[in-house]
């Protein structure tokens, strides 16, 4: 097996599910076993697998100790100690590791099993994350796919069928709060929009870009919600939250966006156009994360309010620095750094997206989607 799960094997709830991971990982390079022909990822640092390595950006993680538990213990540009949620989803679906878009621009890289366009600090809005330097917004990521489509058309005859059967994962919106709305000294959005109006703005822009992907030929979408941002070490440290609590005002903002995103899924699935030939799924990452944070022992976690690697209060005032010494028992921590979860957390979220209930993935999970 290509990743470590020894600390999770003691969690009875997931023993059976972990067997599914093992089976999928053993056949990950077999096209006949894959549940989707390819996976295309659009997102932020939660799923970035190295795109920002080649950008002039402060939002980079291509240095140790990032990747300490990844294959070979090397930093890859993933913002975790190991694998991301989409890494695990790919394994569950029987797909090989997919390249970052920036690795494909010079050619010579197989793009037929999918590409990851995610960019740390990127958001739904163009200006989100600008203080951190170069990044790909949602619009730019959609535009980058056009370059990939040219290569796909060279390698596949039945492009329409291929795209209709491929999986699209979209995980965006977190930075529009953390690196925009919640930074009033750098951005004007919080003085222009109240939280409901800002959520409306995000959803409008999100929908326009999403429908562009639909118009390009994709038909199977998983749209991940924003997580409980009021519980991440960065926010706990910045607002000096008492132990055991989260910043409820920030979590309520995330829920405003998520409620609209779930309604969008219902709307698109019942629409006369998109509802005829496509399926849109809402990934309730918020609910799954809150469940883990509320019941950490049941999932094998002991530390929920501070990063494994970081500086200051909650180890979240300054994120993980080069050559910093991280905590020893990383699989017992929910958070890896000030903003991002550990590999252990990512595995649980991936499993719930793969074959969880409607409360995890609505209206169907990834396994069910693969049968359509």
Instruction: Find out whether 135 and 191 touch, Cβ atoms under 8 Å.
Output: no
Mind telling me the catalytic residues?
Answer: 45, 337, 340
Tell me, what DSSP letter sits at residue 97? P
Instruction: Find out whether 42 and 116 touch, Cβ atoms under 8 Å.
Output: no
- Cα 193 to Cα 168: distance, rounded to the nearest angstrom: 30
Q: What's the 3-state SS for 264-326?
A: HHHHHHHCCCHHHHCEEEEECHHHHHHHHHHCHHHHCCCEEEEECCEECHHHCCEECCCCCCC
- Cα 83 to Cα 144: distance, rounded to the nearest angstrom: 24
- Cα 335 to Cα 134: distance, rounded to the nearest angstrom: 25
Peptide bond into 8 cis (omega under 30): no
Q: Which region, left, alpha or beta, applies to residue 350 given φ > 0 means left and ψ of -120 to 50 means alpha?
A: alpha
Strand order of the sheet with strand 39-43? 114-116, 39-43, 167-171, 220-224, 279-283, 361-362
Q: Is the dihedral of CA 58, 63, 66, 67 positive or negative?
A: positive
- Cα 293 to Cα 302: distance, rounded to the nearest angstrom: 10
* Angle (CA) 276 281 284, round 5°: 160
Tell me, what DSSP letter sits at residue 196? H
Return the structure tokens found at 89. 């989803």
């Amino acid at each position: 097996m290509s990743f470590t799960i020894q600390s999770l094997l003691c969690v009875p709830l997931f023993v059976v599910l972990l067997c599914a991971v093992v089976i999928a990982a053993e056949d990950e390079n077999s096209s006949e076993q894959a549940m989707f022909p390819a996976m295309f990822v659009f997102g932020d640092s939660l799923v970035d697998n190295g795109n920002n390595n080649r950008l002039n950006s402060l939002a980079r993680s291509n240095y140790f100790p990032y990747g300490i538990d990844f294959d070979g213990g090397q930093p890859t540009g993933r913002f975790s100690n190991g694998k991301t949620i989409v890494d695990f989803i790919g394994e569950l679906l029987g797909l090989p590791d997919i390249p970052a878009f920036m690795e494909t621009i010079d050619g010579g890289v197989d793009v037929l099993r999918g590409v990851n366009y995610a960019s740390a600090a990127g958001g739904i809005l163009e200006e989100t994350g600008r203080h951190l330097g170069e990044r790909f917004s949602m619009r730019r990521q959609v535009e980058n796919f056009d370059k990939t489509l040219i290569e796909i058309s060279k390698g596949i005859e039945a492009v329409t069928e291929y795209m209709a059967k491929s999986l699209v994962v979209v995980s965006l919106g977190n930075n529009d709060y953390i690196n925009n709305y919640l930074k009033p000294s750098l951005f004007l959005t919080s003085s222009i929009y109240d939280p409901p109006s800002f959520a409306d703005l995000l959803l409008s822009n999100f929908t326009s870009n999403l429908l562009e992907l639909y118009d390009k030929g994709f038909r199977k979408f998983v749209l991940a919600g924003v997580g409980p941002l009021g519980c991440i070490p960065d926010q706990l440290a910045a607002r000096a939250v008492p132990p055991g609590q989260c910043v409820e005002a920030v979590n309520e903002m995330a829920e405003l966006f998520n409620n609209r995103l779930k309604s969008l899924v219902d709307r698109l699935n019942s629409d006369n156009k998109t509802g005829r030939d496509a399926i849109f799924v809402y990934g309730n990452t918020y609910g799954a994360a809150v469940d883990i944070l509320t019941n950490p022992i049941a999932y094998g976690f002991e530390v929920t309010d501070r990063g494994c690697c970081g500086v200051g209060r909650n180890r979240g005032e300054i994120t993980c620095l080069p050559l910093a010494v991280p905590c020893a028992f990383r699989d017992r921590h929910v958070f890896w750094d000030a903003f991002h979860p550990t590999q252990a957390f990512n595995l649980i979220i991936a499993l719930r997206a793969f074959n969880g209930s409607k409360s995890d993935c609505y209206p169907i999970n990834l396994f069910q989607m693969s049968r359509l």
